[in-house]
Amino acid sequence: MAITTWTSLGMRWDDLGGRLPTPYVEALRLALLERWTAAGLSLGVLPDVLETPLAAGELPGTTWADAWLFALQYAAPRYVNHLDHAGNWSGLAMASVAPFWTWAGLVTAAGITTEQRLYAGSFFRASWARQQYALLNLLRWTRLTGNGAVEGVAGTGATYAAAKAALEADTWTTAAMPGVAIGSCWGEVGLNALGTTYSAFLYRPVIAVPTATYAHQLDLWAYPVARADEGGGGSTYDEPYLGLAAGVTARAYTDASPVAATTRRPLFTGTPSLLISTPAAPGATRGFDWGGTPSPDTYPRVVLRWDVAGGFNFLP
């Protein structure tokens, strides 16, 4: 019988007895591989000894123990502290949204006062295994970082209605926007200085997730701001999808149900200009931005929650 969950083969993590049986070590190894993959980490970085199942009755030696500690401490800070503010960061500064675990914070949250270590000549202790079990169970959410992809639509017209209709009829097209933070979304409606032409554009984020192995829920946290006018006129905040308030951190988007990863997942698929309204005067614009203008203070946070149906197998 294969080991697929913490309770496979009748394993009980509250009562391991004395010397650690091989199935418990193998379950820990598989749980670590699960977390490693979901965090988008390369198997090329994973120590070789952790890629190979243990033989029946085999207990690993010091090399395995050293590799284990390295791998767990390497993966842990790729995970979000889901206990922070109970996972609800509404109204906080974006710098405080979805913080990553620190090793010290993870150990404390696991209720560990003295970390167990395995050294040359030592044997595997049940207390050590229970600590690793507790640490791994806290690694549940990841956060995508770096640059992201966007798709855009645009439209112009002699009237606002004509520009709006042209934008809505446009086809979403991948835009070459290097350096845009992942999860970024922005748009604008403007009236030229002569008051003769309206123009509108909108960009939505396209998310790619590192693994299709496990289902997950995606949450996009954003801090919307008024988009700076690039044409010389004043800009007023206006957001086209959810009516979010400017200058307030909010969960702007979440999956309705867990989904498997795809190489291309555009967010916000409704009518693109639903809430954008007419600029007040020639030379003015109305628009919104979260992440389109590079600023670490307003970068969105894309959080992947793996503790959902069809997600991680190794959870209590």
3-state class (DSSP) for residue 301: strand
Q: Is 235 among the domain residues?
A: yes
Do 153 and 295 reside in the same domain of the chain?
Answer: yes
Q: Is 295 among the domain residues?
A: yes
User: Of 139, 170, 186, which closes a domain?
Assistant: 139
pLDDT value at residue 88? 96
DSSP string, 114-177: S-----TT----HHHHHHHHHHHHT--EEEE-SB-EEEEEEEEESSHHHHHHHHHHSPPEEE--
| 41-56 residue pLDDT tens | 988 889 988 998 877 7
Q: Is 149 among the domain residues?
A: yes
Confidence of residue 295 (pLDDT cuts 50, 70, 90): low
Count up the domains in the chain and report the number: 2
Q: Is the pLDDT of residue 113 over 70?
A: yes
Q: Is 1 among the domain residues?
A: no
Our measurement of the distance from residue 167's CA atom to the centroid of its chain's CA atoms, rounded to an integer in Å, reads: 30
Q: Measured between alpha carbons, how far is residue 190 from residues 168, 218, 277 in Å?
A: 16, 32, 10
**What is the value of pTM for the model shown?**
0.89
> How far is it, in rounded angstroms, from Cα 82 to Cα 12?
25
Confidence of residue 33 (pLDDT cuts 50, 70, 90): very high
Do 200 and 126 reside in the same domain of the chain?
Answer: no
> How far is it, in rounded angstroms, from Cα 254 to Cα 304?
10
Do 34 and 118 reside in the same domain of the chain?
Answer: yes
Name residue 259's amino acid.
Answer: V
Answer with the residue of higher pLDDT: 298 or 225: 225
User: Of 79, 108, 139, which closes a domain?
Assistant: 139
pLDDT value at residue 306? 94
Q: Is 25 among the domain residues?
A: yes
Do 182 and 225 reside in the same domain of the chain?
Answer: yes
| 81-104 residue pLDDT tens | 999 999 999 999 888 999 999 999
Do 26 and 132 reside in the same domain of the chain?
Answer: yes
Our measurement of the distance from residue 28's CA atom to the centroid of its chain's CA atoms, rounded to an integer in Å, reads: 24
289: phi then psi, degrees, rounded to nearest 5? -160, 130
Summary mean pLDDT of the chain: 85
Do 185 and 287 reside in the same domain of the chain?
Answer: yes
Do 166 and 281 reside in the same domain of the chain?
Answer: yes
Residue 261: strand pairing partners: none
Nearest to 195 by CA among 275, 273, 280: 280
Do 272 and 189 reside in the same domain of the chain?
Answer: yes
Please tell me what DSSP assigns to residue 182.
Answer: T
pLDDT value at residue 30? 95
Nearest to 316 by CA among 4, 2, 1, 5: 5
> How far is it, in rounded angstroms, from Cα 133 to Cα 24?
10
Do 255 and 132 reside in the same domain of the chain?
Answer: no
Q: Is the pLDDT of residue 315 over 80?
A: yes
Q: Is 313 among the domain residues?
A: no
> How far is it, in rounded angstroms, from Cα 192 to Cα 284?
8
Q: Is 51 among the domain residues?
A: yes
| 5-31 residue pLDDT tens | 999 988 889 877 655 677 888 999 999
Percent of the chain as helix, strand, coil, to the nearest 5: 25, 20, 55
pLDDT value at residue 265? 80
Confidence of residue 267 (pLDDT cuts 50, 70, 90): confident
- Long-range contacts of residues 265-268, Cβ cutoff 8 Å, at least 24 apart: 265/206, 265/207, 265/208, 265/209, 265/218, 266/151, 266/172, 266/204, 266/205, 266/206, 266/207, 267/183, 267/185, 267/204, 267/205, 267/206, 267/207, 267/220, 268/185, 268/204, 268/205, 268/241
> How far is it, in rounded angstroms, from Cα 49 to Cα 62?
11
Provide, rounded to the nearest whole percent, the portion of the chain with pLDDT above 90: 40
Averaged over 256-264, what is the pLDDT?
A: 68
Confidence of residue 108 (pLDDT cuts 50, 70, 90): very high
Do 96 and 157 reside in the same domain of the chain?
Answer: no
User: Of 84, 110, 139, which closes a domain?
Assistant: 139
Q: Is 56 among the domain residues?
A: yes
By DSSP bridging, strand 265-266 and strand 235-237 are unpaired
Do 230 and 127 reside in the same domain of the chain?
Answer: no
Quote the domain boundaries for residue 277.
144-305
Do 270 and 163 reside in the same domain of the chain?
Answer: yes
pLDDT value at residue 261? 66
| 206-238 residue pLDDT tens | 888 877 678 889 999 998 888 765 555 556 777
pLDDT value at residue 275? 60
pLDDT value at residue 19? 54
| 114-164 residue pLDDT tens | 988 766 555 567 888 899 999 999 999 999 988 888 999 999 999 988 998
